[in-house]
A and B are shown apart, each in its own frame.
Chain A
Amino acid sequence: MRSTKMSPRGRWSAITAVAAAAALALTACAPPGASNDGDNGGDTGTLKVGYISPVTGNFAIAGQEMVDGWNLYWEINGTEVNGVTVETIVEDDAGNPETSLTKAKKLVELDNVDMVVGPLLANTALAVAAYTSTVDVPNLHPVAAADDLTQRSANDFTVRTGSMSGSQMHYPGGVWAADEGHKTAVTLCPDYAFGWESCAGFSQGFEQNGGEVVAQYWYPNGTSDFSTYVSQIQSAGADIAFVTTAGGAPGPDFLRSFFGLGLGDSQELLMNCCSLDQATLRALGDEVLGFHSVSNWAEGRDSDTVREFNDAYAEKFDGKIPSLNVAGGYMTASLVASVIEKNGYVTGADLVAAISNIEMEDSILGKAKFDEYHNLVAPVYIREVKKLDDGKLYNTPIETFEAVDQWLGRTPEEALALPNYSQDFQGLE
């Protein structure tokens, strides 16, 4: 490169700029308002909640459902509990972690919220949790399933209130599959952390009970054409295929290929919460009658609490039946209400501690409590798609695993000593 000939003016401005920058960074004294020590929240009569969810973008439907579930609770029960009014501010992060962080900062620094609920996706959730723990603001997770939120990245301000960690939710699926007499299994999961954790959970449950996972397939995020993977499942010829998605379009996309290649009657299938949720049932209808899935939410469960919840949701949302995202939002709201009912206005680490002390006998998710890492311990259901009396399709429990925790049969210390789940490490010996 030629030497750049600087005009005197150019040189002059360059030097000034550099000097100014250096001087500023090193000698400026703190402006007013620089100390940001947890004086968040207004008076003790209002609990301000910042709710982050991807209401637009690829996960719009799930994001909106999460918001709807939370709002539904307060609409039914009123926003005032024990003299405290709950005020919610909803922010859209479009599934983008940078946006989630900006919204979280805005909620904490501008709106002075007492706690942040959400966001939905695993990567956005981890980013926000890392931030909120540095500013002493509680972060509740209704749906996010990243293992580390309540394992390696667990802290006093983060609690998973409506969902389970990826491996936790799917482990009982493996146990059930083995108990049903299946000897071999093949797994198909998305090729990122949620998928690795889910398949690891299933695989460990399956192999610890006498089965053998003969092949594992991973599909890239954003796959819409599953025909290749269905072909591979077919050629693996295992007794049962375990397939997970993170919700949204991949569920119906996979099933369509599955039926199209003729496997509908010949290949036993176990799916996860999100691939066989209500959106999929709406899309595919009677074709999926009798299909099995594993999840901590079952809208067809025979319980008054669940029925009331379903009816309330159906009334507000055109007869639709709630999915896991709705249940997560609703569950979170009911936990917060419980805490306020018992203790009045609480925030900070006290709020998280109070939530972790709750034990609910009959929540919409069943009997629920929390472990020391602020993770939900609750039943996991093996569900079957059935048509109930109202003519609609519901995921109905055919088997229940009570009080499932996130450790998959190990002690916390043993589990945390293991590396994160990945394509190469699935927790198997």
Chain B
Amino acid sequence: MFEPIFLAQQALNGLSFGALLFLLASGLTLVFGLMRIINLAHGAFYMIGGYLGVVVAGLTGNLLLGILTGVLVVAVTAFVVEVVLLRFVRGQELPEVLLTVGVSFVVADLCLAVFGGDPHTLPASAMVQGSLTIGDLTYPWYRIFVIGVAIAIGIALTLVQNRTRIGAVVRAGVDDREIIQAMGVNIGWVFTGMFIVGAALAAIGGTIGAGVLSIRPGIQDEVLLYALVVIIIGGLGSVSGAAIGSILIGLIDAFAKAWIPEFAYFTIFAPMAIVLVLRPTGLFGRTV
């Protein structure tokens, strides 16, 4: 139970799952945390990215092409959803819920119609192959790759948010819309852009994640649930919070399954409930 190889493997399992969660959650925390848009269609964006990425990567053998296709289609979809639908209900929670649930239903069903019911995974040819072997420990390179991608995206997001002008505009716009508009910024398009970025992150997560978690009917609700848990724990709007939350949930999940399997079901929700009771804004959230 406590042998070093086992511990190392479980830790890596937890980290790679956490990395996947971060890819999911980073997009959602931006949309949700900063723009206060309840987007229950986030899982559907992940799903489109996943299916398209797998199909294209399967046809071309190239993972990057798969990712790009997924991102492109999802970006267009997100643009349409935001401009045509979400703008009308901005600020109203419950209509947003109904609207995004509706989008999710439509997307999920259309994916079923187009891609069928078989689970889809990245073909081995498109993935980073082989395993890393250090002594007795063997670990698949692809999962390490997922961790790498998550770290890269996390750093990029933080830099953009804190060091660039667009990041400053977004943060200012969230704090005080009117002033930023008075300064001549078209806040509407900035928010649309943010929404698209959030969706694109989900799409990337979908394609890359398809090497770890197969894409199949029902995946959109599953990943949405995980993403919501992570951002609640981490605090809405905080990329670092999403990172911490993802790592936490990933590790807890991996070790709990090994050490207290009777509670495997609850390992996702118990931490969230505990955090909410003790610190309702999440670990890094802001009190508005």
Check B117 for interface membership: any CB of A closer than 8 A. yes
Give Cα distance in the complex from A56 to B218, angstroms: 10
Check B214 for interface membership: any CB of A closer than 8 A. yes
Q: A219-B264, A231-B258, A260-B142 are in contact. Are A252 and B16 (CB under 8 A)?
A: no
Q: Report the minimal beta-carbon distance from A99 to chain B, rounded to whole angstroms.
A: 15
Q: Report the minimal beta-carbon distance from B135 to chain A, rounded to whole angstroms.
A: 12
CB <8 Å contact, B257 and A228:
yes
Beta-carbon contacts under 8 Å, A206-242 to B: 217-220, 222, 224-225, 227-229, 231-232, 234-235
Check A279 for interface membership: any CB of B closer than 8 A. yes
A contacts with B, residue count (CB < 8 A): 37
Tell me which of A217, A222, A279 contacts B261 (CB under 8 A): A217
Q: Report the minimal beta-carbon distance from A318 to chain B, rounded to whole angstroms.
A: 11
Q: A227-B254, A256-B121 are in contact. Are A262 and B131 (CB under 8 A)?
A: yes
Partner-contacting stretch, out of B5-13, B63-71, B87-95, B154-162: B5-13
CB <8 Å contact, A260 and B139:
yes
Beta-carbon contacts under 8 Å, B214-237 to A: 214, 216-219, 222
Check B176 for interface membership: any CB of A closer than 8 A. no
Closest to B131 in A: A262
Tell me which of B3, B16, B133, B222 contacts A224 (CB under 8 A): B222
Q: A61-B116, A231-B9, A260-B140 are in contact. Are A222 and B131 (CB under 8 A)?
A: no
Check A428 for interface membership: any CB of B closer than 8 A. no
CB <8 Å contact, B9 and A220:
no
Check A416 for interface membership: any CB of B closer than 8 A. no
Q: A56-B217, A260-B131 are in contact. Are A235 and B3 (CB under 8 A)?
A: yes
Q: List the B side residues contacting A256 at CB < 8 Å.
A: 121, 212
Give Cα distance in the complex from A225 to B261, angstroms: 15
Q: List the A side residues contacting B117 at CB < 8 Å.
A: 59-64
Give Cα distance in the complex from A214 to B212, angstroms: 29
Q: List the B side residues contacting A232 at CB < 8 Å.
A: 6, 258
CB <8 Å contact, A253 and B131:
no
Task: Give 1 or 0 for each of A188-200: 1 = CB within 8 Å of chain B CB.
Answer: 0001000000000
Beta-carbon contacts under 8 Å, B69-92 to A: none
The residue among A220, A222, A231 with the most chain B CB atoms within 10 A of its own CB is A231
Check A57 for interface membership: any CB of B closer than 8 A. yes
Closest to A263 in B: B138
Check A249 for interface membership: any CB of B closer than 8 A. yes
Q: List the B side residues contacting A235 at CB < 8 Å.
A: 1, 3, 5-6
CB <8 Å contact, B16 and A227:
yes
Closest to B139 in A: A261
Give Cα distance in the complex from A222 to B119, angstroms: 13
**Interface class of chain A by DSSP:** helix
Give Cα distance in the complex from A225 to B16, angstroms: 10
Q: List the B side residues contacting A253 at CB < 8 Å.
A: 119, 121, 213-214
CB <8 Å contact, A60 and B138:
no
Q: Report the minimal beta-carbon distance from A41 to chain B, rounded to whole angstroms.
A: 33
Q: Report the minimal beta-carbon distance from B219 to chain A, rounded to whole angstroms.
A: 8
B contacts with A, residue count (CB < 8 A): 39
Beta-carbon contacts under 8 Å, A244-261 to B: 248-249, 252-253, 256, 259-261
Check B17 for interface membership: any CB of A closer than 8 A. yes
CB <8 Å contact, A252 and B119:
yes
CB <8 Å contact, A249 and B216:
yes
Closest to B254 in A: A228
Give Cα distance in the complex from A56 to B258, angstroms: 33
Q: Report the minimal beta-carbon distance from B7 to chain A, rounded to whole angstroms.
A: 10
Task: Give 1 or 0 for each of B251-267: 1 = CB within 8 Å of chain A CB.
Answer: 00110011001001100
CB <8 Å contact, B119 and A262:
no
Q: A56-B217, A217-B261, A249-B216 are in contact. Are A228 and B112 (CB under 8 A)?
A: no
Beta-carbon contacts under 8 Å, A61-75 to B: 61-64
Beta-carbon contacts under 8 Å, A377-405 to B: none
Q: List the B side residues contacting A260 at CB < 8 Å.
A: 131, 139-140, 142-143
Return 18 A-B CB contacts under 8 Å, by A number: A57-B217, A60-B217, A219-B264, A224-B219, A224-B222, A225-B17, A228-B10, A228-B13, A231-B13, A234-B6, A235-B3, A249-B216, A256-B212, A261-B131, A261-B140, A282-B118, A283-B119, A283-B121
Which A residues fall within an 8 A CB radius of B? 56-64, 191, 217-220, 222, 224-225, 227-229, 231-232, 234-235, 248-249, 252-253, 256, 259-262, 279, 282-283, 287
Which B residues fall within an 8 A CB radius of A? 1, 3, 5-6, 9-10, 13, 16-17, 109, 112, 116-119, 121, 124, 131, 133, 138-140, 142-143, 212-214, 216-219, 222, 253-254, 257-258, 261, 264-265
Known: A220-B265, A227-B17, A260-B143. 14 other contacts (CB 8 A): A60-B116, A60-B117, A60-B217, A61-B118, A224-B222, A228-B13, A232-B258, A235-B6, A248-B119, A248-B216, A252-B121, A260-B131, A261-B139, A283-B118
